[in-house]
Amino acid sequence: MTVESTAARKARRSAGGKAGATGTEPAGSAGEAGAGADPADKGTGTAGAKRTASTGRTTRAGKTAGTAGTTRATGTSGGKRAASKPRAAKKAAGKPAASTAADEHDLVQLLTPEGERVENAEYDPYVADLTPEDLRGLYRDMVLTRRFDAEATSLQRQGELGLWASLLGQEAAQIGSGRATRPDDYVFPTYREHGVAWCRGVDPTNLLGMFRGVNNGGWDPNSNNFHLYTIVIGSQTLHATGYAMGIAKDGADAAVIAYFGDGASSQGDVAESFTFSAVYNAPVVFFCQNNQWAISEPTEKQTRVPLYQRARGYGFPGVRVDGNDVLACLAVTKWALERARRGEGPTLVEAFTYRMGAHTTSDDPSRYRHDDERVAWEAKDPIARLRAHLTAANHTDEGFFAELEDESEALGRRVREAVRAMPDPDHFAIFENAYADGHALVDEERAQFAAYQASFADAEGGK
């Protein structure tokens, strides 16, 4: 190694890597959970990698390659949790739990899992004007969103994305609520709201930049009134509340919707957003997708009462809706948004749904949950449910499904091509946008960085 070292260092200096020559390798595997590469897959260390890769800055790429694409198989031992019973079995335990049998009838549902339309005097008016075409549109949204999500998952598996947070199973909650919003409403998502983004007209390829590691956001929130994804759990609920307070101050009639998970409901920020929105009567809808899990922790580890009931303590209504029923999600969210617009204040909507996949591509759910549970939820699939309804009501023909299939494939191809074509950012992007007004220290460091980069080019020139 040592002889190589000297040679390589000279080569590095003389080969003159240009700034910006990162490899095209994926950004590595790390993410929310189980992040990080397995050591066995890593290069044997920085120095070694550089020594052997001899061509200047491309050694940096070599180094990137060393940490790339090595999603850790998360299970180190022990496989499945043996003792865990399906969650439904806990209902009889006689102590408060997030989901008790008694609460089930509180679940707003307009479509049964079999696709039968259930009457609901309170919420039917909010979907009464839907035409068969609208229903097909909701179906199309869910299918395309699922297709996009599946494509992103496989792009992660192929090393094109560093991480992906799948929405599989949550399509109805997202499309139903997303379609309830108006263009002048403002949406504050977490990191899994790909279906809501779709409804807001955000190009799905924009969502992939941060998961590929080329940016930390990647779109202009104001172009679709769809805020950047927020990774620090719960933070955005306060931003949503403040934005809604602003709307109220302006006398506008728009509303805000904030998305978060059941796990997030434990954060102080979420409690504080409930307090502020209630006290200031802010036009905000809190849309909690209770997908039953916060990484490995079931909802019972976050709350001892059904989440929607929390709202009462803050002085505003809470509703639990069947999160796999797109019509119910649409109706309830519309109701809540209209309330907000009328100046009647916040609402908490708890969409009772299920995360069918892993928390993220770095997660291994077999360590903490039983497959039976997932299988049981499969029977409540939001897409199959609407399809059954459309078919039974004669709202579609086979041509519709076939065309949609083609459209899905085309979307998949477009996303794949767009991701592969996504350029790595220029190295100087590190210094961009640190301050709106500029900053002398940043300027100084940028100049140092430039000189340092140039020293490689000089070495090459002098070769």
Partner 1 sequence: MSDQKTEKMAIAKAINESLRQALEADPKVLVMGEDVGKLGGVFRVTDGLQKDFGEERVIDTPLAESGIVGTAIGLALRGYRPVVEIQFDGFVFPAYDQIVTQLAKMYARSLGKVKLPVVVRIPYGGGIGAVEHHSESPEALFAHVAGLKVVSPSNASDAYWMMQQAIQSDDPVIFFEPKRRYWDKGEVNTESIPGPLHRARVVREGTDVTLVAYGPMVKLCLEVADAAAEEGRSLEVLDLRSISPLDFDSVQASVEKTRRLVVVHEAPVFLGSGAEIAARITERCFYHLEAPVLRVGGYHAPYPPARLEESYLPDLDRVLDAVDRSLAY
Could you identify the residue written with the tokens 């070599």? 62
Residues 41-60 that bind ligand TPP (CB under 6 A): none
H/E segment holding residue 357 = none
Give CA torsion, residues 418, 419, 424, 430, to 10 deg.
100
**Cβ count within 10 A of residue 14:** 16
Report the partner that residue 293 touches, choosing among partner 1, ligand TPP, none (CB closer than 5 to 8 A by kind): ligand TPP
Three-class secondary structure of residue 346 per DSSP: coil
Rounded least distance, CB 434 to partner 1, Å: 5
Q: Which is nearer to partner 1, 117 or 446 (CB)?
A: 446
Q: Which is nearer to ligand TPP, 235 or 408 (CB)?
A: 235
Report the partner that residue 76 touches, choosing among ligand TPP, partner 1, none (CB closer than 5 to 8 A by kind): partner 1
Q: Which stretch binds partner 1 (CB under 8 A): 174-182, 248-256, 260-268, 330-338?
A: 260-268
Q: Which stretch binds partner 1 (CB under 8 A): 72-80, 112-120, 144-152, 401-409?
A: 72-80
Catalytic residues: 355, 359, 368
Binding mask 187-226 for partner 1 (x = CB under 8 A): ----------------------xxxxxxxx----------
Rounded least distance, CB 52 to ligand TPP, Å: 37
Residues 166-195 that bind ligand TPP (CB under 6 A): 192
255 in Cβ contact with 244 (< 8 Å): yes
Q: Which is nearer to partner 1, 290 or 333 (CB)?
A: 290
CA distance 364 to 358: 6
Rounded least distance, CB 370 to partner 1, Å: 12
Rounded least distance, CB 81 to partner 1, Å: 6
Query: Does residue 62 touch ligand TPP according to CB under 6 A?
Result: no
Q: Which is nearer to ligand TPP, 56 or 306 (CB)?
A: 306
CA distance 414 to 27: 21
Query: Does residue 459 touch partner 1 according to CB under 8 A?
Result: no
Dig out the tokens for 18 from the structure: 């240009």
Residues 286-305 that bind ligand TPP (CB under 6 A): 289, 291, 293-295
Query: Does residue 233 touch partner 1 according to CB under 8 A?
Result: yes
How many residues are recorded in the chain?
Answer: 463
153 in Cβ contact with 164 (< 8 Å): yes
Q: Which is nearer to ligand TPP, 43 or 162 (CB)?
A: 162
CA distance 119 to 128: 11
Closest listed residue to residue 349, CA positions, set 305, 308, 382, 310 = 308
Report the partner that residue 345 touches, choosing among ligand TPP, partner 1, none (CB closer than 5 to 8 A by kind): none
Three-class secondary structure of residue 261 per DSSP: strand
Candidates 55, 130, 425, 454; binder of partner 1 (CB under 8 A) is 425
298-303 long-range Cβ contacts below 8 angstroms, 24+ apart: 298/87, 298/98, 298/369, 299/98, 299/99, 299/262, 300/90, 300/97, 300/98, 302/98, 302/262, 302/263, 302/265, 302/266, 303/98, 303/262, 303/265, 303/266
Q: Residue 1 burial (CB < 10 Å; 0-12/13-18/19+)?
A: exposed
Report the partner that residue 89 touches, choosing among partner 1, ligand TPP, none (CB closer than 5 to 8 A by kind): none
Query: Does residue 233 touch ligand TPP according to CB under 6 A?
Result: yes
The two most distant CA atoms of the chain are separated, in Å, by: 82
Distances in whole angstroms, Cα of residue 406 to Cα of each of 240, 373, 402: 37, 32, 6
Q: Which stretch binds ligand TPP (CB under 6 A): 53-61, 66-74, 92-100, 255-263?
A: 255-263
**Cβ count within 10 A of residue 238:** 19
Binding mask 288-307 for partner 1 (x = CB under 8 A): ------xxxx---xx-----
Rounded least distance, CB 122 to partner 1, Å: 32
Report the partner that residue 192 touches, choosing among partner 1, ligand TPP, none (CB closer than 5 to 8 A by kind): ligand TPP
Rounded least distance, CB 402 to partner 1, Å: 37
Q: Which is nearer to partner 1, 3 or 128 (CB)?
A: 3
Q: Give the number of residues in contact with partner 1, rule: CB under 8 A.
A: 82
Question: CB-side exposure of 189: number of CA atoms within 13 Å?
Answer: 26
Residues 98-157 that bind partner 1 (CB under 8 A): none
Query: Does residue 228 touch ligand TPP according to CB under 6 A?
Result: no
CA distance 113 to 134: 20
* Residues near ligand TPP (CB under 6 A): 32, 192, 231-233, 261-264, 289, 291, 293-295, 355, 359
